[in-house]
Amino acid sequence: MSIEVTIPAVGESIESGVVSVWHKKSGEYVEAGEALLTLETDKVSTEITAEKAGVLETKVDEGQEVKIGEVVAVIDDHATAPGKAQPVPPNESTPVAKSTDRRSSNAEVLSPAVKRMTTEEKLDPAKISGTGKGGRVTKGDVISHLQTNPEESTDDQEKPRARKESAREQSVPSDEERFTRKRMSPLRRKIAAQLVMAQQTAAILTTFNECDMSEVMALRKKAQEKFTADHGLKLGFMSFFIKATVEGLKAVPAINSRIEGDDFILNHYYDIGVAVGTERGLVVPVVRDADTKGFADLERDVADFAARARDGKIKIEDLQGGTFTISNGGVYGSLMGTPILNPPQSGILGMHAIQQRPVARNGEVVVRPMMYLALSYDHRAVDGKEAVTFLVKVKEAIENPTVLLLDL
């Protein structure tokens, strides 16, 4: 009996995805529960596993877009796990394939440059011995073939020019060597659409400030050993900024809002999105009810989200419903930037790299670890005064972290 492998529903509004990789190939034996493929959608990646053991037969290729419910493979559960394959000696019933047959099959896969050369010279690619990978015909093979078989070119007047052109072609990279074209992944297409939509639908403005990280760094260093021993994880900077952001949002509620049509919606809860960079693109998992959580819970949530996002195991519900976003470009070395809103939110805080810079303190110039902060906001919902006030509140909380009532 054959068991169909179908694409499951992975979240609301998701109608299709891309088979990004087959972990098992067609003809291989798979065990029940073993990962067969990774499905990449515009929001998450999901591993699809085998329901039963058997021999896999794939129906679609890697990189192909598939619909929810589509059959992508079948598993023959009557097949048994294969033993060590025994080599079968050639005999009269199993003739050895001729080299011309190998050349013929490999000649069907030609680069654009080789196709152009064989067309101009009116050559049959099946008659050319390929020295490339898997017997593939290269430009050098075409030139060598012409030199050893000059009679195959039907237009004698064009021979000298064709030889010269072919020699020149060999030194010029083909299109496939100069660039790579591939279809954007669903996640990258979704990110692109979101960014364009944010720019086109919101009145985005950015205001800046800077904060002295001395007190936070000193407090973090002092508490690190005990915090790690008590909670089994390190105390980072993100939990401080989540706490400071909540204080800022409580002081300036308008930033914890969104606009829907002609309605202004003010949120009375604090679900803070934390942007995480992955190889597939940027995702923003949401820390729920951040105002009710202590530093250990915040650090645990952020670490867990980051690990699952990078492993492609983040869930769709983890990315939905945030009211405000924090993006830390500083981990990549960014000194200053203007983050783009995460629709339909009205604000996003950009953190940046910590740098030792000279600043004035009590009439003297001292060197302190400083960080630039950036708040991008939707000017339709937030006035400039409110945006500046919010950023000042965040700055004050970071420079005097005891007001955050640490539970260290």
Residue 85 lies inside a defined structural domain of this protein: no
- Cα separation, 383 vs 346, in Å, equals 11
Beta bridge partners of 327: 350
Residue 165 lies inside a defined structural domain of this protein: yes
- Cα separation, 92 vs 102, in Å, equals 19
**Whether residue 64 is found in the same domain as residue 201:** no
Residue of 118, 124, 125, 126 whose CA lies nearest to 101: 126
Domain boundary among 141, 156, 178: 178
Give the structural domain span for 160. Answer: 99-178
150 cis-preceded (ω within 30 degrees of 0): no
Neighbours of 124 (CB within 10 A): 10
- Cα separation, 315 vs 44, in Å, equals 7
Residue 304 lies inside a defined structural domain of this protein: yes
DSSP 338: -
**Whether residue 172 is found in the same domain as residue 194:** no
Q: Tell me the pTM.
A: 0.64
Q: What is the pLDDT of residue 326?
A: 97
Residue 173 lies inside a defined structural domain of this protein: yes
- Which one of the listed residues 175, 311, 383, 407 is annotated catalytic? 383
Instruction: Examine the residue annotation and report whether 291 is marked as an active-site residue of this protein.
Output: no
CATH code for the domain in which residue 229 is found: 3.30.559.10
- Cα separation, 367 vs 370, in Å, equals 9
Q: Where are the alpha helices (DSSP H) in 274-339?
A: 295-310
Number of structural domains in the chain? 3
Beta bridge partners of 47: 38
Q: What is the pLDDT of residue 347?
A: 97
Rg for the chain (alpha carbons), in Å?
Answer: 30
The string of DSSP letters for 250-287 reads HH-GGGSEEEETTEEEE--S--EEE-EEETTEEE--EE
**Whether residue 51 is found in the same domain as residue 151:** no
Residue of 380, 352, 357 whose CA lies nearest to 370: 357
Q: Do the beta carbons of residue 154 and residue 122 sit within 8 Å? A: yes
CA atoms within 13 A on the CB side of 128: 31
Residue 352 lies inside a defined structural domain of this protein: yes
**Whether residue 196 is found in the same domain as residue 336:** yes
**Whether residue 29 is found in the same domain as residue 174:** no
Give, in order, the Cα–Cα distances in Å from 48 to each of 11, 21, 127, 312.
Answer: 14, 11, 44, 12
Instruction: Examine the residue annotation and report whether 61 is marked as an active-site residue of this protein.
Output: no
- Which one of the listed residues 155, 175, 289, 379 is annotated catalytic? 379
Q: Do the beta carbons of residue 117 and residue 166 sit within 8 Å? A: yes
**Whether residue 121 is found in the same domain as residue 163:** yes
**Whether residue 233 is found in the same domain as residue 288:** yes
Tokens of 356: 């030792």
- Cα separation, 146 vs 162, in Å, equals 10
**Whether residue 122 is found in the same domain as residue 151:** yes
Residue 387 lies inside a defined structural domain of this protein: yes
Residue of 114, 371, 139 whose CA lies nearest to 237: 371
**Whether residue 55 is found in the same domain as residue 124:** no
> For each of the chain's 408 residues, which pLDDT tens digit applies?
688 888 888 765 577 788 878 888 888 898 888 888 888 776 677 788 888 888 998 988 887 888 888 898 998 887 776 654 444 555 544 444 444 444 444 445 676 666 767 776 778 777 787 776 667 777 677 777 776 766 555 454 455 555 555 555 555 555 567 888 877 777 777 778 888 988 898 999 999 999 999 999 999 999 999 999 999 999 999 999 999 999 999 999 999 999 999 999 999 999 999 999 877 778 899 999 999 999 999 999 999 998 888 887 888 788 888 999 999 999 999 999 999 999 999 999 999 999 999 999 999 999 999 999 999 999 999 999 999 999 999 999 999 998 886 544
**Whether residue 66 is found in the same domain as residue 104:** no
